Structure 1
Amino acid sequence: MSTLPERLRELNYTSHLVGKWHLGSAYQNVTPTGRGFDSHYGYWNGYMGYFSHQTGRPGFEGLDMHTDFQPDFQTVGQYATDLFTHRAIKLITTHDYKKPLFLLVSHLAPHTGKYDEKADNTVLEEKSAYEMNRKFSYISDVRRRRYADIVNSVDESVGDIVDALSTRGVLRNTIILFMSDNGGQTFGMHENFASNWPLRGLKFTHFEGGVRGTAVFYSDKLMRKGRMNDNLIHITDLLPTFYKAAGGDPDNLGEIDGINQWETILKEEPTKREELLINIDEVENHVGMLSYQGRYKYINGTIYNNTYDGYHGAIGRGKENPKYNISAVLQSHANVALAHLSFHRLTADGIVKTRKYLQSRDCRQLLPTNLNCSPCLFDLWMDPCETKNIALEQPTILTNSIRRIDQFWKHLVPQQNKAVDPESNPVHYGNVWTTWLDTYL
């Protein structure tokens, strides 16, 4: 199956990845430059230390910051978010725009760093304690305060990158998608003290707190600008959508999971996506699916003994929180850069209306006493917090969901879970993560 950068290469694009890969590194041909990117600066695993750039467990860890296949020792001790931002800006600034550019910036922030990150957190506190406490002193929990500071660094990164596009003179002809992946992990494995309030569940679950994502899209081609789009879209849709935007014909992509959503985004035409398989796991026997254009969600069970299936995280809307700073939005690097184009200017009233529209209502009034799902069916349009299991009330929808899942089971490609290869241990290669199966064996 071809990747997006491989398909864009057919259209004469130059492609670069900055940041996270997490799609394999045993062989060079499964790393970013083996899968369509012309360059990669970042890490191959799922996370690393923000300053140490190390990942792994004690006795099985090493440096995971690379420029293509070369380990980057010189930047150890420097903040990953800043490094990725600077790399992105350099690529934007130096690119020859006779060829179109695809740039994917996949930040580490605000994911947790490596497991034993006490040293990294200490450096973070020393690096920005004064500014962090000045900006976010109203947050009593220092862990939440640090998380807010990390998120703020991503905000600044986005602004600097948009500003670089403007300075280079290519912003008007650029498509920008800023999106989240999974929900936050308030506690437990990979905890970072995030909050999915008021939604139910954390990362790893199929509940809305774990899987509902948000995105911001910019293009000069948008027919109706400054709008909210509620159509059902899945990450697999990005390949045919961006391929279409780049001038390709999605019909040439063959049979794929993604659906071309270009017209849905540009013109707000109704999506052609009727359903979305969240996950199907034959090892855990855990299934989640959306149907009826995202209205109904089917979940066949829970994982980790309901550990993450409840309602967690701070509300962030108490009296101690300051008034929303509209001026900071209007004066941000991103908005100033976009305002120069003059096709759609943010206003204070517009920001207030947008926030009101997007603001999640407190739907936690009637929390379920039984968190078990065996199975569960939720009406997300009426109950986004998934407080009421309507499986018994809607037997037809439940039956249709189960039948559709049975069809997915027939097409399932079995997992290839394997034990960790001891030969991959960075200790064998100068404490650096490598493509060990074809480089050293």
Structure 2
Amino acid sequence: MLLETRWNLIFGCVLFCGFFEKIHCATGQPNVVFIVADDLGWNDVGFHGSNQIPTPNIDALAYNGIILNSHYSQSFGTPSRAALLTGKYPMKLGLQGPSITPAEGRSLPEGKIMSEYFKDMGYATHLVGKWHLGHSRWNDTPTFRGFDHFFGFYNGFTSYYDYVSNWKINDKEYSGFDLRRDTVPSWNDAGKYATDLFAEHAVDVIQKHNVNTPLFMMIAHLAVHVGNEGKWLEAPQETVNKFKHIRDPNRRTYAAMVSKLDDSIGAVFEALEAKNMLQNTIVVFISDNGAPTVGPHHNWGSNYPLRGIKDTLFEGGVRTVACIWSPLLVQSSRVSTDLIHITDWLPTLFTAVGGDLSVLDPDLDGIDQWSSLVYDLPSARNDIPLNIDEKTRNAALRFSYWKLIVGTSGNGSYNGYFGAPLNENIEEQQYNTSAINDSPVGRIAKKINYNPLSETDFDGLRRVATLKCLDAKAKRNPCDPASGAVCLYNIPNDPCEENDLAKFFPSVVRRIKRTLVDYRQGLVPQIETSIDIENADPKLFQFAWNPWRDCSDAACTS
């Protein structure tokens, strides 16, 4: 059996190079373009079964690559980004709590991160968009953490046009400009729509890139996170006007924001093709967490049919939109249900570019999934500690097909929230598979793919990637962890977390609890910090959010 498997792998590799002979079977270190959407809902892309917001470029990327239907992140932005760059669970970094806010001293702890590993491998490294991992000191900022160049913003959000980020701190309003080129505020870019601006910069990086050097670029969009109070959602009016079938004006603007995000991916794909880089490039697209449909900073996104929202450990908060595309994938155009966690991307991509895993931090939690992705082999990951928060006493673990939730977040306010389909605000729309082939990603993927997909193939993959809740007649045992109950779900059979099985499988509950206790041993208490707005006030730095500690040189006011 082992010999047969080896011959199958060898045969697959031979076929792979044969299929791609016309594009000069890839040589050298692959380029990596990692795209992160912010607060994008499960139901806000077409390939998960929604007709509300056309996403032809994202759908084409997913259908021609691998749809990762069991991809998990953290429930907040800062912990997710920390997990992505370090390959470690945030509870091992002291970042398992809420996201970092301005004037906080918290930051990503010292230690090598993804950008530095890639830089050591000879890569040109770029971060476009959101950082959100602390900026109290210059050493906490991207260009001091392995990125050759940074064009983006430090905080959790900023305005989509004027790049002013407003925060209420200690009952007082503070405003500051938050857009930088490397370390210098980029005042001249104010007035340009953020999603377009970041896409244009990414395209410019690609156009100017020396193809003899491999490229690692992370594009961490502001979209579709809300902006400042009073203008939560922003999009060009001509794009908003395309969504007149959506009656709710907020959801309509949100749809336009998703559409601009989709356009940006098409623009990056076109730039990679024009530069003849696509044949040796890996493109990953994920959301950092689920959508906050309701509650503070809600963006009118939809996680339907999943239960929960951002800041919960239910599926709607931590099970995210994700896909990977590359000509290097032998077994693509499929839906993977294997468990994959956001920490896995560091070792997975490091292996993909020829890195030696032995040089990575030995305390890494991420698991190398590259062979599993390339050849459709079983994943080595069997469980995911979704979080352990010692302050809220909230924890969850995905263990094979089981999921256990203990305690609650946000006082349990959204534990009973099930993603609304929002159909009452939508005129009936048909899914346009032709638009997928006609999109920039669709047209280019069709040229590269040795066996181009048909619209029937799109429909088939979409059906597999669409989640369904329990049948209306199925028995349900409701569970709310806010009541002190421990909730156990069989996720493949019950992705909407409607039927608690804890009382029927007590041995499973005990086993998962023991596993949580084992993970708890490695927990680092949350980083304690105070708000230092007196020294971090933007008015001290030409009204820009700026590092404020160790500011003895002129760079602090640049």
Q: TM-score range by the shorter chain?
A: over 0.9
| TM-score normalised according to structure 2 size | 0.75
**What is the aligned partner in structure 2 of residue 405 from structure 1?**
516
From 69, 73, 92, give the equivalent of 2:187: 73
* TM-superposed deviation, 1:183: 0.5
User: How do 1:246-395 residues align onto structure 2 when only pairs under 5 Å count?
Assistant: 246-253=353-360, 254-292=362-400, 295-315=401-421, 320-363=427-470, 365=472, 370-373=479-482, 374-395=485-506
* TM-superposed deviation, 1:165: 0.3
**What is the aligned partner in structure 2 of residue 100 from structure 1?**
214
* TM-superposed deviation, 1:310: 1.9
- Please identify, of 420-429 and 303-312, the stretch whose mean Cα deviation from structure 2 is larger: 303-312
User: How do 1:138-149 residues align onto structure 2 when only pairs under 5 Å count?
Assistant: 138-149=245-256
| 8 Å contact kept, 2:251–2:300 | yes
| 8 Å contact kept, 1:278–1:287 | yes
* TM-superposed deviation, 1:77: 1.9
Amino acid in structure 2 at the alignment position of 1:435: P
Distance (Å, rounded) in 1 between the aligned partners of 2:449 and 2:527: 52
Distance (Å, rounded) in 2 between the aligned partners of 1:107 and 1:325: 26
For the pair 1:28 / 2:138, whether they are aligned, the reply is: yes
Distance (Å, rounded) in 2 between the aligned partners of 1:440 and 1:346: 59
Distance (Å, rounded) in 2 between the aligned partners of 1:396 and 1:52: 56
**What is the aligned partner in structure 2 of residue 221 from structure 1?**
328
Amino acid in structure 2 at the alignment position of 1:25: H
Flag the 1:339–1:433 CA change in 2: closer, same or farther, 3 A: same
Flag the 1:346–1:317 CA change in 2: closer, same or farther, 3 A: farther
**What is the aligned partner in structure 1 of residue 296 from structure 2?**
189
**What is the aligned partner in structure 2 of residue 39 from structure 1?**
149
Q: Give RMSD over aligned pairs.
A: 1.8
Distance (Å, rounded) in 1 between the aligned partners of 2:342 and 2:512: 21
| 8 Å contact kept, 2:468–2:495 | no
Flag the 1:249–1:226 CA change in 2: closer, same or farther, 3 A: same
* TM-superposed deviation, 1:320: 2.2
For the pair 1:64 / 2:178, whether they are aligned, the reply is: yes
The unaligned stretches of length 5 or more in structure 1 are: none
* TM-superposed deviation, 1:369: 5.3
**What is the aligned partner in structure 1 of residue 162 from structure 2?**
52
- Please identify, of 349-358 and 149-158, the stretch whose mean Cα deviation from structure 2 is larger: 349-358
Secondary structure of 1:437's counterpart equals coil
Q: How many aligned positions are there?
A: 432
| 8 Å contact kept, 1:193–1:313 | no
| 8 Å contact kept, 1:54–1:63 | yes
**What is the aligned partner in structure 2 of residue 18 from structure 1?**
128
Secondary structure of 1:398's counterpart equals helix
| 8 Å contact kept, 1:198–1:363 | no
Flag the 1:367–1:149 CA change in 2: closer, same or farther, 3 A: farther
* TM-superposed deviation, 1:316: 5.1
The unaligned stretches of length 5 or more in structure 2 are: 1-110, 554-558
For the pair 1:420 / 2:531, whether they are aligned, the reply is: yes
Flag the 1:88–1:340 CA change in 2: closer, same or farther, 3 A: same
Distance (Å, rounded) in 2 between the aligned partners of 1:440 and 1:394: 61
